[in-house]
Amino acid sequence: MNLGYDSQTESLYIGVADGISAECVELYDGVVLDFDSGGALIGVDIHRVGSLPQELEIPERIPTPAGASGALASGND
């Protein structure tokens, strides 16, 4: 896992796996999931971190890009 923060744009990137982003899915306004060409989650990009609500509702299942095999479990299974 790797983390990156850009103070100019208040963007936080959380890389969870190596790979090249092939498709993105916006989970919330300013929260973007990055997927590789096989549909595996490789990172989460959070824009304007300072303006996010204090609490975000985490969905039971995380959407995947079109063509990927099903939804990813959120880890609560």
- Cα–chain-centroid distance for residue 7? 19
**Parts of the chain with a pLDDT under 70:** 52-64, 66-77
Tell me the pLDDT tens digit for each residue of 45-63.
999 887 766 666 666 666 6
What token pair was written down for 2? 């790797």
Q: Quote the CA–CA distance of 55 and 21 in Å, as a whole number.
A: 27
Which residue is associated with the tokens 């929260």?
Answer: 31
Closest among 45, 46, 36, 41 to 74, alpha carbons compared:
41
Is the pTM of the predicted complex or chain greater than 0.85?
no
